[in-house]
Amino acid sequence: MQLLADQNAVVILEKTPIREDVLAEIFTASTLKLQMRNDIYSTYSLHAPPHLNEIKATVMCPATEKHVKKYQRKESFLVEETAQDYESITLPYIKKQSFSVQWVYNILDKKAESERILFEDPHPKLGFVLLPDFKWDQKQLDDLYLMAITHQRDIKSLRDLTSQHLPLLENILQKGQEAILKHYSLPASKMRIYLHYQPSYYHLHVHFTKLDFEAPGCRVERAHLLADVIQNLRSDPNYYKTRNLYFPLRADDGLLSQFKEAGRL
């Protein structure tokens, strides 16, 4: 956490993947300092020219206490949430405590990021906006990360989905895949398309990441493949309303305290 102009800020600094097209310049224009050599093995510290040394910086300012917590490393605990737990513990908590989704409305209303939109289906019930997630700098396909945000504003998360949302989910899957094939020549077989439960932002959205990229949050305890979600709702219209769902919560997450207080952990 940093202070920017007296306001709390979260600043994330990331070294981005090295692109193949800059390798030749890295090899010819960098300076090398030998660190160790042993037989056929050697390590160096390589100083690349400044324009090849970019650091991606993401800034959240002013950051709420919840933003600061989200980005601090903390141990996690797996929670089992029954349908009853959702109604009595999770839902009241997220109604009071969740992050603002103003940034999502800004995207849907074209007040922000409109030039980044890759595809839009404007239909009020079935439509969505597909755009790069802010985790992706779009400089290389290796860490491709897009997000589909629904125009419908009243679906909080996976838990709200029933078979009545199948046309919406099928539309996102099909048109999202088509748009990605058209723009990036990546077929469906190269993509991981999923929802998070719990999400950080309670407005339905779907993550599209390249299959070979281990995106943060793509592990089994948090990611639900959209294709599986569709199948599950086809076999049971109330699958996500009735099932126990499992997800990790960080030690300092207020929702975890609520589960503990209710004797559910």
Catalytic positions, please? 205
Binding of ligand M7G at residue 248 (CB under 6 A)? no
Helix (H) or strand (E) holding 166: helix 166-184
Query: Least distance in Å: CB of 83 to ligand M7G?
Result: 21
Helices and strands, counts by H and E, the chain: 9, 13
Of 176 and 199, CB closest to ligand M7G: 199
Contact between 67 and ligand M7G by CB under 6 A: the answer reads no
Contact stretch for ligand M7G (CB under 6 A) within 46-54, 133-141, 240-248, 249-257: 133-141
Nearer to ligand M7G, 22 or 155 (CB): 155
# residues near ligand M7G by CB under 6 A: 12
Task: Give whichever of 131 and 173 is closer to ligand M7G, judged by the CB atom.
Answer: 131
Residues 234/236/239/244 CA torsion (nearest 10 deg): -130
**Crossing angle of helices 166-184/226-235, nearest 10°?**
160
Out of 77, 105, 119, 134, name the contact with ligand M7G by CB under 6 A: 134
Q: Does 213 bind ligand M7G (CB under 6 A)?
A: no
CA neighbor of 62 nearest in space, from 22, 17, 7, 101: 7
- Residue 87 is classified by DSSP as I
**DSSP H or E run through 86:** none
Query: Which of 113, 160, 170, 236: binder of ligand M7G (CB under 6 A)?
Result: 113
Residues in contact with 206: Cβ distance below 8 Å, sequence separation at least 6, in sequence order:
128, 147, 148, 172, 176, 193, 194, 195, 226
Q: Can you give the binding site for ligand M7G, defined by CB under 6 A?
A: 103, 113, 131, 133-135, 147, 196, 199-201, 217
